[in-house]
Amino acid sequence: MAKCILVLNGPNLNLLGAREPQIYGSTSLPDIERSLTADAAARAARVSFFQSNHEGALVDRVQAARTDGVDFIIINAGALTHTSIGLRDALAAVAIPFIEVHLSNVHRRESFRHRSYLADLAVGVITGLGPAGYRCALQYALDSDQD
């Protein structure tokens, strides 16, 4: 059966491409989603997307992934990375392998961005590679036997 990958984006990532290009680049979230859709199609896989500015909506989407046939999650939780025990608990509860992605290199930024509530549960973390980080994560997920 075709692999099914869910790409989650958290608060403010809907603003990509429109604000702060010096930090986050000029690529929009729909641009990233289009390129991931093409990459997944080339590997006969399915990819779906969800962005929300609301912690509870992201928790709900993670919980739904358990019964949705999602094999792997790619998540840029935005600022919730550094604050959300709720999102951490949801990811732990569904036990779907995931990669944490950040566009910017959080370790070159403020110290409050150095802590992640998700990272120790993740298969891996990609930070600072811009949109390429999502594409690397997708290739890894599609190569991975974990499902």
Contacts with ligand CA2 by CB under 6 A lie at: 12-13, 15-16, 19-20, 24, 76, 78-79, 81, 102-104, 106, 113
Q: Which is the catalytic residue, given 102, 114, 134, 140?
A: 102
Q: How far is the CB of 30 from ligand CA2 (least distance, A)?
A: 13
The minimum distance between CB 147 and ligand CA2, in angstroms, equals: 25
Q: Which distant-in-sequence residues (6+ apart) come within 8 Å of 75 by Cβ?
A: 7, 8, 9, 10, 91, 98, 99, 100, 101, 118
> Which of 22/67 has CB closer to ligand CA2?
22
Q: Residue 102 catalytic? A: yes
Q: Cβ of residue 115: shortest distance to ligand CA2, in angstroms?
A: 10
**Phi and psi based region of residue 97 (left: phi greater than 0; alpha: psi -120 to 50; beta: remaining):** beta
Say which DSSP state 129 is in: S
**Residues belonging to the chain:** 147
16 contacts 25 by C-beta, under 8 angstroms? yes
Residue closer to ligand CA2 (CB basis): 76 or 84: 76
Is 24 in the active site? yes
Quick one: tokens of 102?
């950040």
Catalytic position from the list 24, 82, 134, 140: 24
Nearer to ligand CA2 by Cβ, of 27 and 46: the residue is 27
* Cβ-based neighbours of 110, under 8 Å, separated by 6 or more: none
What residues act catalytically? 24, 102
